[in-house]
Amino acid sequence: MKYIDPHIHMVSRTTDDYQRMAQSGCIAVTEPAFWAGFDRSSAQGFYDYFRQLTDYEPRRASQFGIQHFTWLCINPKEADDPGFAREVLSLIPEFLDNHNVLGIGEIGLNKNTRNELIILEEQIALAEKHNQMVLVHTPHLEDKLKGTRIIMDALAASGIDPGRILIDHVEEHTVAEVLNRGFWAGMTLYPDTKVTPQRAVDIIEMYGSERIWTNSAGDWGCSDPLAVPKARLEMKRRGHGDELVDRVTLHNPRTFLSQSGRFDVEV
Amino acid sequence: MSAETSHSCPMMRAEVIDTYFMEHRARIIDIAAFLDRVERAGTSDDAEDFREVSFRQALGILSDGKPQRAARILSLLSDQTTEMAQSAEGMKGASGAPMPPATGGNA
């Protein structure tokens, strides 16, 4: 069995996580830039982070036969200070030609503020200017529904084809709107605050398997880098066939990500 | 294009119950114990916490016999306002239920 984890923060994981993922069938990961659990004090901190994502992390993954790709941005949690955020944004273009960069992400909103929205719109414009795909973070808990709608409106106002945008962390109350507006949808399997493998399979059963994927978003918090294979197991436990299991966890991610010519993963 | 809901679980109803009953039996007892714990705990005032209010409303959805319970509970626990604050300065992290305006909510 093979699978792709299209959203995981490997900089926060140990090397034996790569080993366990490879043993479980992982052949590729994509790693969006995100909040490290603390606010960085300078744009230089992001510069070093972007170097880690584009240089060091692909080499660490390759030791286990896993292809590593990335998305660059300033995450919404650190984007509430527009001046600081613009300093970080000015660093991104020099990294966009790197061999493992797929696009801009994970951009979005955190507390649904006007400052966050200003920087979101500037990052959407950056993606459009450089013809980049987009990976979107939606807010957590009580802020998700409102934030998801604001983000989709901002994206719709751009000229980017919604088929080149994935909106992540969807749940039962947001998935239909995301799909109906033509975007791809990501389900994050994360203890406590997002969806469980069981709920993810429920969503596939209710809303179908078109333009949807699962990911672990494994990071420094309580998270599970083997969440995707656990969702595969849950699908099989219910009697779903290999064709559906592979579509959601392998072929759908590959179809979306291959819109970037750099995603050269053979299955 | 439209994402419509369907009923495509390959399991029969009895199989779903066989597979998941014990896990969710434990969870509903956890909820019962949580509510008992809240009631046993001391309080500094008579005002009910907004999260407790939302939680009890969510319990009503569980037993109303209508479909889409997960989506409806998630919507109940969502900020339904459309106003946006200028900055996140001073805002606390997510609380899991929408704060009423009088307690610092966004509305």
Rg over CA atoms, chain B: 18
How far off is chain A from B73, nearest CA to CA, in Å?
9
- The type of residue at A188 is T
Average pLDDT of every residue of chain B: 89
Pick the CATH number of A3-257 from 3.10.20.310, 3.30.420.40, 3.30.1490.20, 3.20.20.140: 3.20.20.140
How far off is chain B from A198, nearest CA to CA, in Å?
10
Q: Assign B52 a pLDDT band (cuts: 50, 70, 90).
A: very high
Beta-carbon separation of B8 and A206 below 8 A: yes
A114 in reach of chain B (CB within 8 A): yes
Q: Read off the tokens for A89.
A: 């944004």
| DSSP notation for chain A | --EEE-S--GGGS-HHHHHHHHHTTEEEEEEE----SS--SSHHHHHHHHHIIIIIHHHHHHTTT-EEEEEE---GGG-SSHHHHHHHHTTGGGGTTSTTEEEEEEEE-SS--HHHHHHHHHHHHHHHHTT-EEEEE---GGGHHHHHHHHHHHHHTSSS-GGGEEE-S--TTTHHHHHHTT-EEEEEB-TTTSB-HHHHHHHHHHH-STTEEEE----SSS--TTHHHHHHHHHHHTT--HHHHHIIIIIHHHHHHTTSTT-----
Q: What is the mean pLDDT of residues B36-51?
A: 88
B18 in reach of chain A (CB within 8 A): no
ipTM for this prediction: 0.95
HSE-up (13 A, CA, CB side) for residue B98: 20
Q: Assign B107 a pLDDT band (cuts: 50, 70, 90).
A: very low
Residue B100, pLDDT above cutoff 90: no
**A144 to chain B: nearest residue by CA?**
B78
Q: What is the pLDDT of residue B106?
A: 41
pLDDT-flagged residues of chain A (< 70)? none
The residues spanned by each domain of chain A are 3-257
How far off is chain A from B40, nearest CA to CA, in Å?
25
Q: Please report, rounded to a whole number, the percentage of residues in chain B having pLDDT higher than 70.
A: 88
Beta-carbon separation of A144 and B81 below 8 A: no
Beta-carbon separation of B80 and A145 below 8 A: yes
